[in-house]
Amino acid sequence: MDAVLAEIEKIKIVPVVKIDNAENAVALAEALLAGGLPCAEITFRTDAAEESIRRISKLDNFLVGAGTVLSVETAKKAVAAGAKFIVSPGFNPKVAAYCVENNITITPGTCTPSDIEAALDLGLDILKFFPAEAMGGLKTLKAISAPYTMVRFIPTGGINAGNVGEYLKFPGVFACGGSWMVKADYINSGDFAKITALTKEAMQIVS
């Protein structure tokens, strides 16, 4: 296991962040740090993603990655900006292969046995399970993972303070992705104290 994944396993939660204004990026990261969570996945759902990653990557002791990476071009931009890991919502063969060939940590999205087997063919065994709750939640994850005991998952989508603890109890779960503590409304309004409070609560649940 590479160093980035080892760190994510220790942290247990990866905040999935949509940032509309890069000016808020460092304050967001500092709010997460204050809550005891030194990690964030900045999604390429806005034009501010690349610059946000660049700014956060300059902070000490903070692990920043890129999410919603839908193309090799975006993966290249993310890594150049300082992203230490790549996350995609689905299994994109080109993106996954590019990251593997260039020793870039990637957890591609999967939700079917075919996705899982395509990932295994590339040597990937830590995979995103998305959209977790919409696909049937922990019950589906347990069923789909049964034939693949060599794989562990990062469920994302519908994960919150009420269910993250149950997900993490399942040995097939590596970590969880969630956005409940980093909602865009909190970031846009500058309510970083709220983010810190929710992050502290989340870390107490998973500790």
The one catalytic residue in 12, 18, 41, 77 is 41
Cα 41 to Cα 159: distance, rounded to the nearest angstrom: 15
How many CB atoms neighbour CB 45 within 10 A? 15
Q: Say if CB 24 and CB 190 are below 8 A apart.
A: yes
Q: Which residues pair with 13 in a beta bridge?
A: 176
Specify the 3-state DSSP secondary structure of 10: helix
Cis ω on the peptide bond leading into residue 38 (within 30° of 0)? no
Cα 114 to Cα 108: distance, rounded to the nearest angstrom: 13
41 is an active site residue:
yes
Residue 153, both tokens = 């998952």
Specify the 3-state DSSP secondary structure of 57: coil
117 is an active site residue:
no
The one catalytic residue in 18, 77, 84, 128 is 128
All residues at 6 or more sequence positions from 198 whose CB lies less than 8 Å from its CB, including other chains = 35, 161, 180, 181
- Residues with a known catalytic role: 41, 128
